[in-house]
Amino acid sequence: MTEINDLASLQRLVRGMKMSQGKFRLFLARYSYLSQRDRLIPQLRESFSGVLQELVLDKSVSSLYATIQKRLENQQPDALMVWRLESVVDVDELLRSMSLVLDEFRKNLHFPIVLWINEEVSRKFIQLIPDFENRASLTVFEISTDELIDFTRQTSDSVYQKVLESGAGIFLDNTVLGLGEFGYQELLRAQKELAKRGVILEPELEASLEFAIARTADNSTEKARQHYQRSLELWQQLNNAVRVAHINYYLGSWWRSYGVWHRPEQEKSYKRACSYFQQSVETFEKVKRPDLVAKFINAWGVILQYL
């Protein structure tokens, strides 16, 4: 159903672009998740028959108008598609600068512009530049419950496989995990949205999602520890020894980091870390996984040296 709705929304957007050729008009294409946007962009390319120029914004961009002028060098395409606005460091300043040169957009850019935005940037449009937002045409691409569940499952499974393959001692950032800079926010939003829709996840998926959220969060925060703990409890209920051992390792890592940053509580924190590392290794040994013992045993040995 979502694909049908997306197709209808995409067709309306393309029709609007065609009708606006030869004059400036702003189209806001709002998506919920980067994976959703990345699926829709190729479809828009295929659906629009005219000359469609594309602009991927750099994080340091401060003026959309100046960036477009530099990119096109006085060309007047049939349409322009712009994305990665959500990655701009000072997106508020960029939006305000758009409002200051609204007349320049109308006078010099004689083509429709499709600006891909997420929900946060959409709110900023309304708050910061209502004059621009009121003149824009908004297309909202919804995401279905099934698509949300698929997103959480695929992302959670991918995160687990990559961190398992990396073993201990290597803390992969979100880019390496294939999540991009908004991975944590997207997973957390998906979890909240599914709960809002009254969806009760299968225990395995909930446990995987809790781990993925913890792993993509700032590992020094209490929130990360809480997500690890919730994941551990679920895997214990499911009697999945390998997953339990793996979560124990990450809880050990959390307490080790906590001890580094909280010196008065360091000894207590290191003892907790040691306990989790020990449980992790002993569980891997119990289920006869020497390959995983080899990957995760060093952390236990290192922390013992401090006790």
Domain count, the chain: 2
Question: Minimal CA–CA distance to 182: which of 207, 223, 216, 214?
Answer: 216
The reply to whether 136 and 166 lie within a common domain is no
Q: Cβ contacts of residue 124 below 8 Å, gap of 6+?
A: 91, 92, 95
DSSP string, the chain: -HHHHHHHHHHHHHHHHHHTTTS-EEEEEE-SSHHHHHHHHHHHHHH--S-EEEEEPPTT---HHHHHHHHHTT---SEEEEE-GGG-TTHHHHHHHHHHTHHHHHHH--SEEEEEE-HHHHHHHHHH-HHHHHHSEEEE----HHHHHHHHHHHHHHHHHHHHHH-SS----TTTTT--TTHHHHHHHHHHHHHHTT----HHHHHHHHHHHHHHS-TTSHHHHHHHHHHHHHHHHTT-HHHHHHHHHHHHHHHHHHHHH-GGGHHHHHHHHHHHHHHHHHHHHHTT-HHHHHHHHHHHHHHHTT-
pLDDT given for residue 112 in this prediction? 97
The predicted pLDDT at position 170 comes to 56
Q: Are residues 132 and 165 in the same domain?
A: no
Q: At what angle do helices 145-166 and 203-216 cross, to 10 degrees?
A: 60
Question: Do 221 and 269 sit in the same domain of this protein?
Answer: yes
Let me know: does 142 contact 5? Beta carbons within 8 Å.
yes
- Select from 104, 61, 113 the least CA-distant residue to 86: 61
Query: Are residue 170 and residue 133 in the same domain, yes or no?
Result: no
User: Which one of 140, 160, 189 terminates a domain?
Assistant: 140
Domain boundary among 140, 165, 190: 140
Domain co-membership, 113 together with 174: no
Instruction: Examine the domain organization and report whether 152 and 299 are in the same domain.
Output: yes
- Going residue by residue through the chain, which has 307 residues, state the pLDDT in tens, using 9 for 90 and above: 456 668 889 999 999 999 999 999 999 999 988 889 999 999 999 999 999 999 999 999 999 999 999 999 888 999 999 999 999 999 999 999 998 998 999 999 999 999 999 999 999 999 998 887 788 999 999 888 998 999 999 989 988 888 877 765 555 555 556 666 677 788 889 999 999 999 999 999 999 999 999 988 777 789 999 999 999 999 999 999 999 999 999 999 999 999 988 889 999 999 999 999 999 999 999 999 999 999 899 999 999 988 7
Two structure tokens written together for 95: 């939006």
d(CA 274, CA 304): 7
Write out the two tokens for 157. 């499974």
20 and 155 inside one domain: no
Q: Judge if 223 and 261 occupy the same domain.
A: yes
User: Could you list the residue range(s) of the whole structural domain that residue 232 is in?
Assistant: 145-304
pLDDT at 7: 83
183 and 284 assigned to the same domain: yes
Question: What pLDDT sits at residue 137?
Answer: 93
The answer to whether residues 171 and 269 belong to one domain is yes
Pair 125, 154 in one domain: no
What CATH number is given to the structural domain containing 246? 1.25.40.10
Residue 182 CB contacts under 8 Å (≥ 6 apart), including other chains? 34, 86, 118
Same domain, 36 and 173: no
Boundary residue ending a domain (125, 140, 155): 140
Q: Which residues pair with 48 in a beta bridge?
A: none
- CATH at 55: 3.40.50.300
**pLDDT confidence of residue 281:** 96
Whole-prediction pTM: 0.81
* Nearby residues of 282 by Cβ (< 8 Å), 6 or more positions away: none
* Cβ atoms of 51 and 81 closer than 8 Å: no
The tokens describing 285, both together, are 């040994």
